[in-house]
Structure 1
């Protein structure tokens, strides 16, 4: 019986069922079962507030476990715990949304999906998809005393690591005219996603030290896709953004929708474009503009600074409007009232 189970695990492909089990309050437990001849498994689930979902799967030392989590809410993370251990061998808040490692011991591994503490305190929710894969191995490596070697456990160096600390940060202390770059990875060489101006307020998703610098993962309020890493030197604790952020257009994520003036080089027939705006406080907003071909241009506005993920942006003021030009080919008129509300 045991040999048959081990063979099935080594050969798995697809998650057959998730069987909820009785666990501690706020924890939903799923026993991951696999069909013979398989190598991967996929589940969908959700977490909210301080409630978590724990996926339990049995595996052997030396096998390689791979886990990948996909969620629109960047506050969703997962930890991997070895059999009988209360200390995570992988911490998603530190290492990202993908794990792959050789397992050190035989037994039941726990993959715990949860929200970081700051998001849990706000009682946020997150729908997610999670993928598992186990590849057969040749046996685990041993430690100095002959026991199975455990992967190093990442350790926080700051009190606000892993989602602790304040719920919101404000960008402060920039040189006049400068911006704080939101990057895809915690490195000054990583791709710039967008730029934040002085006073911009962002959600705190946790900080950690890297190469002597303090990097913090943050998210623009109201825009789940605008999440990344910034230099923590320019962050100060802030209150939740004030303004109309809770008043949304029915059945949308937007605080306002409509049309704005727009023009396109080589196409004189277009004079207006549909838009939707998510406001994150005075002077800070994300504006989605639908182009004539159906492409959605996302403009990130932060206290006069405008950026987009693909394209070179130039701006100029015209009364109470900001004229935004992308790649010298697309021009959009953003009224102050669109960004600030009211």
Structure 2
């Protein structure tokens, strides 16, 4: 008789506990796994800046090496450029990084907390829904701003447009995007071109803080420089993205070297 009582009690306890366990199981598994992206596409010895705001002049919160994993909270187009909000554990940081250096991209968007971030070089007092002026307008060219695009441009198209516009701006003097130091945002450098035939040329770039760099083109492509450092380049459409050594960066459009 005692054995039956114990068995009955155990059975009752099991029947009561089973629904509770089944109800708790979905809640324990309701939280989705975070979306993980990997840092990629960096030049050798380069680091990815994670910034407090989705802007090239935003404060740097952390710098990540190629291959680092981050939690990708979503990606937004800010002033025509795709940025993703990320969280890093090593080092511990939360901020924004350019989407082109993250794989895969989170298809979700971040709430409009970044909508009020002014675009680089634009007036912070402009209305948020006003289209950003083109690069030549920001540099003081007399030409009228381009009409707003109806669809977002690719990163290559944006880079090409900015590099070409910068080259033709500043009262007709030749300017190209450049950066001299590690982590420095792209600035504007005066440049001159010496043609050596139909497809050869030397582009002399003058740094704003003094000194210069000569980049030689052969068959219309970057070939070498007067620096003893490693020379390499990639192409995005008709734009040459040139790296010299660890830190020097240049963006030179084909039209600068070959003409229209």
Q: Which has the larger Rg?
A: 2
The structure with the greater share of residues assigned to strand is: 1
The structure with the greater share of residues assigned to helix is: 2
